[in-house]
Each structure stands twice: as C-alpha cells, then as structure tokens.
Amino acid sequence: MDALLESELLAALDHHDNLVRQCVAGELTFSEFCVSYDAFYGAYALDGHEHDLEGQALLTKLASRIAPHQAIAEDILSKVCADADATLDTYRRAGRFGSAEAVKKLKLVAAGLPGGEA
C-alpha cells in the first residue's frame, strides 16, 4: 500500500464520520449510507495489515478516531442482512439484524464521534 499520509487519513475519517452522522440524522437512508461508506475500514487497511512501520505508527496515533469505524465494520456492517431475512429465526440466532437495528447501532457509534453528537 502507498504511504499513509496523515492529512489524507484525517480527511477520510472526517468524511466517513459525516456519513455516519448523515445516516443517523435521516439525511441518508441506510442503503445510501452503505453505498457511500463502502468498505472504509478494510479499504484503508485500518487494522494495519498493509502498512509499514510508519503507517502503523500513524494508525496507533489515530486509534481513537479509527475505533468507531472498526466497530462499524465488525459490529454492524458485517452482521447486517436484508430486512426480510432479519425476521427469520436462523438469521436472528446467527446475530444478524436488519437496517433499522443497524441505524440504532450507528446512533450509538455516532454519539462517540468527534463532536460527540449524533
């Protein structure tokens, strides 16, 4: 991966923070959010797996800014399913949920974003 620049990463974090805020405010549907947010955490390799020592140091420095996006990736986007499927027992037992529950979970994340308001 190319060198991770702090200014670019901060801009990307700000942009994706705003997408979260827009979704929980009803300015974006959950579907629109998913398209715009895409696979941010993985695309930027925010877990550090593709970065050199300098990039990993930057990720460590910005860990508190990255943490909400890790939660979105691991606790929300990886578990959301189609709304119709979310009503099925097999999906619920597997910990899956639909868009309404996903937005509720996003609201909790949004409350912890810089600025502190959803």
> Residue 40: is its pLDDT beyond 50?
yes
Sign of torsion, CA 41 47 49 50? positive
In single-letter form, the type of residue at position 101 comes to E
> Residue 86: is its pLDDT beyond 70?
yes
Grade residue 51 by pLDDT with cuts at 50, 70 and 90: confident
> For a pLDDT cut of 90, what percent of the chain falls above it?
82
For the chain, the average pLDDT equals 92
Between 51-55, 63-67, 92-96, 109-113, the lowest mean confidence (pLDDT) is in 51-55
Per-residue pLDDT at 118: 43
Distance CA(75)–CA(69), nearest Å, equals 10
